[in-house]
């Protein structure tokens, strides 16, 4: 079935690195801007490689690769303003990057030393959400708060093709439409929910879901960072001006495994990777830069060095992430004291004192 | 009690502009029980919100509002309709504080009319408190009187923790003195039980709708020469065991009463803890009086399902027989 | 807002009793057929009156009036075949009627002597479902069963405008579309979910929801029994032939209260009843019959007598519905013995024996 | 254990053409734990169904399939993802039989990998059994060994009641003798506990993932001269109290062990019942070993959260100290 493969989406940069014009989504970019975007893409790809390697070396319990989806995320992330607020699932490392969250910070969850890792208010980005769909209503609630505050910020909800089947995502659409709330739904259709192809979630283009709520929907080439940027910017602008919620479907492909525990050879059509490799999100930007003379050897070498440095920081930093004191698990269950927690904490404290290793299984 | 709850909401809306109400039929209609009557008119649609018919996102949106600094008070219309929101409550509301290492607060109150005895159709008479008590991260409160409803709801709204606030719907029409000028900060502390009636033979622990029934049982027992001490738990998570233990140490006997079915219930928790903490002083095992292990029956049978004065006295007899 | 009031729906019989043609939904009906439909409508309206009165007299704890929605339900109900299976909410007395469930049987739930009342397999209709939305996935599951059985039956899910906001209803759409299951979603938009107007559920016509899943949707005048019949018939036929799921939105109005406990004066626009009274579902059929000479005084008098008889049976029968033996509450909790139930039952049995009145509160 | 479960599913699919499997990633992938590996290939897409990503309707559709005469076996991928389906489970699956006065059966099995100890990220290590045990209309089972997994899953599928089937995921890779020719009808009855190890000093009640840990504790205790009797509950609803009471009557002491947090838990239920039924013979109160009243911690701390041999032995010590 090819309903989802159709190229009826906004594209501003072809896989061959040619710029296209689009009447609704004009984008003027300078060489500097494109270089900055390319840097983001490269850093994300490297991050992915490094984190995957760290998992292979036993330093992480799990990792969720981003490879293939860098452009969708960087485009969207760079379109956001600081005051906007992002709710994401567990694969939006590119959004985190754009929100100023250090790659190393993301390792805490995957290494099992925290369930969060950063202060959401510092970056205006919620911690990763693992239960599929749950965070999408949160974005709508946050947007309802924005409405009451009277600012022109926007809440963004990032989720996958699989998530579109969840009741909570539908209800979030319903609330956003009913209250005309400033929320942007950003759907990355990477063609899979673990092993299940997007066709099992819908035989129909997912962007069409928006129609049913009277929410405008835009389908964009998720492997084109310029298109993702332009479309997200336009959507955010429209929402800021009171236009109400919107949905963007970024059509992309998960080139890696679902997580490092997954074995995609069991389900991925064997020629799919080849096909999608020709649409690589980094490659086309490089071609554009070459074509325009925006990238010289120094730039590329500089990037490489920066990526190397990031990799080193990541490796060393991850190894240095040690589990917190066991008693911290009781610290933030409640804001105010709760007797059961107090008792359980006292029990564990006594117990740890008696058997300091604490690890006797 | 409806008026007391309404006054508590009004006071909270007045006190803190971040307080919002959200639910089905709460604005224009004023709630199916009229608990929010008049509030939309006085505080406007932005603060008293008629939501689309979707419990999961009523709670899910409340999470986002809380993250934006608001203090949402959500109404779930009836006990049986809380389950579509169960995931948001258990996975998000209860856990977000700890998941963010304390950086995100969840000052959300979920008002839930609960319990039976009003002749309602199915799904309108359930007692789901054990599900929430079992869930770390939630506080669970159940007032039994109008005065407590007034105080406790305000305390719940003022708390930075999420609170499942169980309103005993068969007591909605109860009247009682409510001191509207009570200083919330100095009222009985949140989380504390109260010895509502002192006695010496058997302690009765109960909450919400069962308090009145237990007090009636104590009256009847007194006529028969038996002295029951009635403890109103008020809070179900945490449970105020110090107060309860002190009482049981005096009486050496405990009967726990609730409407909810018994398996893995609040009554089980209390029985387990008291059996341990009062091991040396108990003269009888803790006797539990609870709903049966059946879905709530058609309402013409509910009188047989719900604990009543007779069943409580029967439990007292069984306790005394040891 | 008038998005929902627009008359862009299929209508075959005007409020004035004029027949209209529709290219997609031709309907040939004989006088006998129209008379039969009119009889259904009259019986339903009478049933509603009688049941409401029974509630007012304290014989029922609650009743959910159908008045205003008779045509939507009778049209749909009469389009069904015996092998089709209906899942409904608590207001589909007209569907129950068409499925051969005696009006008296419906009283058990409202009188509080049972939570069901009939054997679903005898009538191919599930018991009423009160938790909004819950039963809609059931219909899809049933339809998945039909697919596996290889028959051409159809499962129908009846639900209201309020229900469209529930996550379960969305998920049901997703599954039905994904599996191309033979299920007809029949939405009665009666403009209210208790006090909440349909605009709070959606600013957009509800039938449009279907588009998002690639499910064909049809909007029909829900006060026109001929249109409801024709559209439902056509949809069922298409589904039987393997066309996959469909959605019908029947636009109607709840002329009564939500339930007998409700006070619609608190929220219903004061001129709404007048407006909708001009579109009454019974009146227009009567006009058509008069126009065509299909209804004489005898027919009307006969109907009246039949309705009176039904009313009498209902009144007497309802009063005679007594609660079952308390011990029956344990009978069907499990198919096989469960110790806790056995113990609880033994307790109550002993207890009832000791205090036979059993009613001491 | 994975192989035993796979064999049980295969046998059930073979035996009864009405048996269907449904879940996320169970067909092409064979499940994230490979429990359904190869079944889609052998039984086809109509019987082994990859569902859209929506737990509520996986269960909701199973209800409809059951009404059409099928016997759906649903997989929920991980414990923490059962909550979106909670409403369908509690309101429909558990209640439909009684709501229809017994006319509609709900032969649905919900397979739920549960518990911690595998170093997973959040929501992948929870123990939600108490929620289901508290719910009338459900049966709850938890095998602890491959042999039991093989028998019990087939019994669950053959039962006309809905069964929450908890698979202890940290024991998935355990190996053990499985008699594939066992006659299911004559195997240990569904709902029965088993005394896995006899002893005389203290009874240990446990289930699922904790059985192995408790047996290890019993080994260590034996070396120290203490004789522990280990009871594998196997079924959590109903709980086989006759077997447990008989054991406690012998030992006069009971320790209950589970991973789930303690408030209103299965352990509370057992403690409450045993304290009552064995009132005269208990020489110590029932001691509970459970998870703490916190959401499941980050996995690098799980060793401190989960009951281990030491904590079990500590509880035994406390029991013996009375
Ligand atoms: C409610 C819920 N059910 C199941 C899972 C297990 N699970 C984790 S990721 C995933 C697939 C998600 O697919 P999609 O939404 O497309 O996001 P992607 O992984 O492709 O980024 C599943 C089923 C989960 N995390 N939450
Ligand atoms: C999950 C759930 N939430 C709330 C309710 C309370 N309630 C009963 S009927 C109703 C409105 C339903 O509106 P609609 O779906 O339009 O059906 P109608 O009553 O108009 O036929 C509500 C909110 C419920 N029964 N179930
Ligand atoms: Mg995906
Ligand atoms: Mg309606």
D113 closest CA partner among D164, D62, D77, D73: D77
**Co-location of A88 and A125 in the same domain:** yes
Q: Which atom of ligand 2 lies nearest, measured to the CA of C190? A: 20
Q: DSSP class of residue A13?
A: B
How many angstroms separate the CA atoms of D33 and D25, rounded? 10
Say if residue C358's pLDDT is above 90: no
Phi-psi region of B123 (alpha: psi -120 to 50; beta: other; left: phi over 0): left
Domain edge (last residue) among D153, D186, D219 = D186
**Co-location of B17 and B164 in the same domain:** yes
The per-residue pLDDT for A4 is 42
Which residue in chain C has the smallest CA separation from A162?
Answer: C174
**Co-location of B144 and B280 in the same domain:** no
Average pLDDT, chain C: 95
**Co-location of B181 and B199 in the same domain:** no
**Total structural domains in chain C?**
2
**Co-location of A25 and A146 in the same domain:** yes
Q: DSSP class of residue D296?
A: P
How many angstroms separate the CA atoms of C216 and C207, rounded? 9
**Co-location of A243 and A356 in the same domain:** no
The per-residue pLDDT for C355 is 67
**Co-location of A348 and A300 in the same domain:** no
Cβ separation of B25 and C261 shorter than 8 Å? Answer: no
The alpha-helical segments, DSSP class H, found in D30-178 are: 39-43, 55-67, 86-87, 96-99, 129-133, 146-158
Half-sphere exposure of C327 (CA within 13 A, CB side): 12
Identify whether A267 is a catalytic site residue: yes
Report the residue from C148, C155, C167 with minimal CB separation from D56.
C167
Q: Are D163 and D109 in contact (CB under 8 A)?
A: yes
The per-residue pLDDT for D186 is 78
- For A318, counting Cβ atoms within 10 Å of its Cβ (0-12 exposed, 13-18 middle, 19+ buried), the class is buried
How many angstroms separate the CA atoms of B163 and D260, rounded? 21
The per-residue pLDDT for C4 is 42
Give the SS3 label for residue A99: coil
Cβ separation of A208 and C211 shorter than 8 Å? Answer: yes
- Averaged over B97-102, what is the pLDDT? 97
A105 interface with B at CB cutoff 8 Å: no
Say if residue B282's pLDDT is above 60: yes
Say if residue C357's pLDDT is above 60: no
Q: Which of A194, A195, A199 to mutate to test the pocket of ligand 1 (most atoms within 8 A of CB)?
A: A194
Q: How far apart, in Å, are the Cα atoms of A41 and each of A80, A128, A293, B37?
A: 16, 20, 19, 55
Phi-psi region of D255 (alpha: psi -120 to 50; beta: other; left: phi over 0): beta
Residue D295 phi/psi, 5° resolution? -55, 155
**Co-location of C6 and C80 in the same domain:** yes
How many angstroms separate the CA atoms of D218 and D197, rounded? 8
D68 closest CA partner among C154, C142, C157, C183: C142
Give the SS3 label for residue A245: coil
Q: Are A257 and A263 in contact (CB under 8 A)?
A: yes
D positions 206-265 inside 8 Å of B (CB): 237, 261-265
Cβ separation of B139 and A120 shorter than 8 Å? Answer: no
Pocket residues: Cβ below 6 A from ligand 1? A 89, 91, 130-132, 159-163, 190, 192-194, 254, 258; D 24, 53, 55, 77, 81, 84
The side-by-side arrangement of strands in the sheet containing D228-232 is: D194-197, D228-232, D202-206, D254-261, D287-291
How many angstroms separate the CA atoms of C106 and C90, rounded? 10
Active-site residue set of C = 254, 258, 267
List all residues 6 or more positions away from C214 whose beta carbon is below 8 Å from its beta carbon. Answer: A202, A203, A204, A208, C177
Say if residue C69's pLDDT is above 70: yes
Q: Are C52 and C63 in contact (CB under 8 A)?
A: yes
Distance A49 CA to ligand 1 centre (A): 22
Per-residue pLDDT 10s for chain D (322 aa) are 999 999 999 999 999 999 999 999 999 999 999 999 999 999 999 999 999 999 999 999 999 999 999 999 999 999 999 999 999 999 999 999 999 999 999 999 999 999 999 999 999 999 999 999 999 999 999 999 999 999 999 999 999 999 999 999 999 999 999 999 988 887 878 899 999 999 999 999 999 999 999 999 999 999 999 999 999 999 999 999 999 999 999 999 999 999 999 999 999 999 999 999 999 999 999 999 999 999 999 999 999 999 999 999 999 999 999 9
How many angstroms separate the CA atoms of D101 and B206, rounded? 32
Q: What angle is formed at CA D26 by the lines to CA D23 and CA D31, rounded to 5 degrees?
A: 115
DSSP C287-323: HHHHHHT---HHHHHHHHHHHHHHHHHHHHHHHH--P
**Co-location of D112 and D31 in the same domain:** yes
**Co-location of C51 and C137 in the same domain:** yes
Identify whether D186 is a catalytic site residue: no
How many angstroms separate the CA atoms of D267 and D204, rounded? 11
pTM of the model: 0.98
- In tens, the pLDDT along A192-233 reads 999 999 999 999 999 999 999 999 999 999 999 999 999 999
Report the residue from B57, B101, B105 with minimal CB separation from A335.
B105
Phi-psi region of A358 (alpha: psi -120 to 50; beta: other; left: phi over 0): left
Please, which residues bridge with residue B121 across strands?
none
**Co-location of B49 and B82 in the same domain:** yes
Classify strands B228-232 and B202-206 as parallel, antiparallel or unpaired. parallel
Domain edge (last residue) among D141, D166, D186 = D186
C10 closest CA partner among C288, C320, C223: C223
**Co-location of C281 and C342 in the same domain:** no
Per residue in A158-180, is it b (16+ CB within 10 Å) or e — as a string?
A: bbbbbbbbbbbbbbbbbbbbbbb
Chains that touch B (3 or more CB pairs under 8 A): A, C, D
- Averaged over B3-31, what is the pLDDT? 98
Cβ separation of A267 and D28 shorter than 8 Å? Answer: yes
**Co-location of B164 and B215 in the same domain:** no
Q: Are D179 and D216 in contact (CB under 8 A)?
A: no
The per-residue pLDDT for A360 is 40
How many angstroms separate the CA atoms of D284 and C171, rounded? 52
How many angstroms separate the CA atoms of D317 and D268, rounded? 20
Number of continuous H segments (helices) and E segments (strands) in chain C: 13, 7
Question: Which residue, among C112, C141, C176, C184, would best test binding to D if mutated, counting the most D CBs under 10 Å from its CB?
Answer: C141
Q: What share of chain B is helix, strand, coil (3-state, %, to 5)?
A: 40, 20, 40
**Co-location of D152 and D279 in the same domain:** no
How many angstroms separate the CA atoms of C126 and C124, rounded? 7
Report the residue from B86, B98, B275 with minimal CB separation from D86.
B86
Pocket residues: Cβ below 6 A from ligand 2? B 24, 53, 55, 77, 81, 84; C 89, 91, 130-132, 159-163, 190, 192-194, 254, 258
C272 interface with B at CB cutoff 8 Å: no
**Co-location of C332 and C279 in the same domain:** no
- In tens, the pLDDT along C27-56 reads 999 999 999 999 999 999 999 999 999 999
A155 closest CA partner among B65, B162, B88: B65
How many angstroms separate the CA atoms of C209 and C188, rounded? 14
First to last CA, chain D: 39
**Co-location of A228 and A330 in the same domain:** no
Half-sphere exposure of D10 (CA within 13 A, CB side): 17
**Boundaries of domain holding B219:** 194-320
Give the SS3 label for residue C125: strand
- For A264, counting Cβ atoms within 10 Å of its Cβ (0-12 exposed, 13-18 middle, 19+ buried), the class is middle
Measured between beta carbons, the chain A residues lying within 8 angstroms of C201 are 174, 178
**Co-location of B6 and B126 in the same domain:** yes
- Averaged over B117-145, what is the pLDDT? 98
Domain edge (last residue) among B186, B217, B236 = B186
The domain that holds D230 is classified in CATH as 3.40.50.920
C167 interface with D at CB cutoff 8 Å: yes
Measured between beta carbons, the chain C residues lying within 8 angstroms of D101 are 114, 116, 331-332
The per-residue pLDDT for C312 is 97
Q: Are B22 and B74 in contact (CB under 8 A)?
A: yes
**Co-location of A13 and A139 in the same domain:** yes
**Co-location of C163 and C67 in the same domain:** yes
**Total structural domains in chain D?**
2
What residues of D are in the A interface, CB distance below 8 Å?
A: 24-25, 28-30, 32, 50-54, 56-57, 80-81, 83-84, 119-123, 213, 262-263, 292-295, 297-301, 303-306, 308-311, 314
The side-by-side arrangement of strands in the sheet containing B194-197 is: B194-197, B228-232, B202-206, B254-261, B287-291
Q: Which of D32, D81, D120 to mutate to test the pocket of ligand 1 (most atoms within 8 A of CB)?
A: D81
How many angstroms separate the CA atoms of C158 and B202, rounded? 53
Say if residue B63's pLDDT is above 80: yes
**Co-location of D215 and D108 in the same domain:** no
The domain that holds B99 is classified in CATH as 3.40.50.970
How many angstroms separate the CA atoms of B149 and B171, rounded? 11
**Co-location of D125 and D251 in the same domain:** no
Classify strands B194-197 and B228-232 as parallel, antiparallel or unpaired. antiparallel
**Co-location of B35 and B157 in the same domain:** yes
Q: Are D65 and D49 in contact (CB under 8 A)?
A: no
- In tens, the pLDDT along C83-114 reads 999 999 999 999 999 999 999 999 999 999 99
**Co-location of D158 and D289 in the same domain:** no
D115 closest CA partner among D87, D64, D79: D79
Give the SS3 label for residue A164: helix
**Boundaries of domain holding A259:** 2-324
Q: What angle is formed at CA A155 by the lines to CA A149 and CA A157, rounded to 5 degrees?
A: 155
- Give every residue of chain A whose pLDDT is below 70, as ranges: 1-7, 355-361
């Amino acid at each position: 079935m090819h309903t989802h493969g159709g190229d009826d989406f906004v594209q501003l940069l072809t896989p061959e690195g040619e710029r296209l014009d689009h009447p609704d989504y004009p984008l003027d970019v300078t060489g500097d801007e494109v270089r900055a975007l390319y840097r983001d893409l490269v850093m994300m790809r490297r991050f992915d490689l490094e984190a995957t390697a760290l998992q292979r070396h036993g330093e992480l319990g799990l990792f969720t690769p981003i490879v293939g989806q860098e452009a969708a995320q960087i485009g969207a992330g760079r379109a956001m303003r600081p005051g906007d607020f992002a709710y994401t699932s567990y694969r939006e490392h590119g959004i985190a990057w754009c929100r100023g969250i250090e790659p190393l910070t993301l390792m805490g969850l995957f290494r099992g030393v925290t369930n969060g890792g950063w202060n959401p208010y510092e970056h205006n980005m919620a911690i990763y959400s693992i239960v599929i769909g749950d965070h999408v209503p949160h974005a709508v609630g946050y947007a309802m708060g924005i409405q009451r505050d009277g600012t022109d910020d926007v809440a963004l909800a990032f989720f996958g093709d699989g998530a579109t089947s969840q009741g909570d995502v539908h209800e979030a659409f319903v609330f956003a439409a009913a209250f005309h709330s400033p929320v942007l739904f950003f759907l990355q259709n990477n063609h899979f929910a673990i092993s299940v192809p997007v066709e099992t979630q819908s035989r129909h283009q997912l962007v069409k879901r928006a129609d049913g709520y009277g929410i405008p929907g835009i389908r964009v080439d998720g492997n084109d960072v310029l298109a993702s940027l332009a479309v997200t910017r336009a959507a955010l602008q429209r929402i800021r001006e009171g236009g109400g919620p919107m949905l963007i479907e970024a059509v992309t492909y998960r080139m890696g495994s679902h997580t490092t525990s997954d074995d995609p050879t069991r389900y991925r059509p064997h020629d799919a990777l080849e096909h999608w490799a020709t649409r690589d999100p980094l490659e086309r930007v490089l071609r554009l830069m070459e074509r325009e003379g925006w990238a010289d050897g120094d730039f590329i070498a500089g990037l490489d060095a920066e990526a190397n440095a990031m990799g080193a920081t990541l490796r060393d930093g991850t190894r240095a992430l040690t589990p917190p004191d066991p008693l911290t698990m009781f610290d933030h269950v409640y804001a105010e004291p709760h007797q059961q927690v107090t008792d359980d904490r006292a029990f564990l404290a006594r117990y740890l004192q008696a058997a300091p290793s604490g690890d006797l299984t | 009690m409806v008026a007391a709850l309404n006054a508590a909401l009004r006071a909270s809306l007045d006190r803190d502009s971040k307080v919002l109400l959200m639910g089905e039929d709460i604005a224009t209609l004023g709630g199916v029980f009229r608990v929010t009557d008049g509030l939309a008119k006085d505080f406007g649609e932005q603060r008293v919100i008629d939501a689309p018919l979707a419990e999961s996102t009523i709670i899910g949106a409340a999470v986002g509002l809380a993250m934006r600094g608001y203090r949402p008070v959500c109404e779930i219309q009836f006990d049986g309709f809380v389950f579509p929101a169960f995931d948001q409550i258990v996975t998000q509301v209860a856990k977000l504080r700890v998941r963010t290492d304390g950086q995100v607060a969840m000052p959300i109150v979920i008002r839930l009319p609960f319990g039976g005895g009003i002749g309602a159709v199915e799904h309108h008479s359930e007692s789901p408190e054990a599900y929430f008590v079992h869930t770390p991260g939630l506080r669970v409160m159940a007032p039994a009187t109008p005065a407590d409803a007034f105080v406790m709801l305000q305390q719940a709204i003022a708390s930075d923790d999420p609170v499942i606030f169980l309103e005993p719907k068969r007591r909605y029409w109860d009247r009682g003195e409510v001191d509207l000028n009570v200083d919330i900060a100095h009222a009985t502390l949140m989380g504390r039980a109260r010895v509502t009636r002192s006695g010496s033979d058997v302690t009765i622990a109960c909450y919400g709708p069962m308090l009145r029934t237990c007090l009636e049982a104590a009256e009847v027992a007194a006529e028969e020469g038996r002295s029951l001490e009635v403890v109103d738990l008020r809070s179900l998570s945490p449970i105020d065991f110090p107060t309860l233990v002190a009482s049981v140490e005096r009486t050496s006997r405990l009967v726990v009463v609730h409407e909810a079915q018994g398996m893995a219930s609040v009554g089980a928790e209390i029985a387990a803890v008291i059996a341990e903490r009062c091991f040396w002083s108990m003269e009888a095992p803790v006797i539990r009086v609870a709903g049966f292990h059946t879905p709530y029956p058609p309402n013409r049978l509910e009188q047989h399902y719900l604990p009543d004065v007779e069943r409580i006295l029967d439990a007292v007899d069984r306790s005394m027989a040891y």
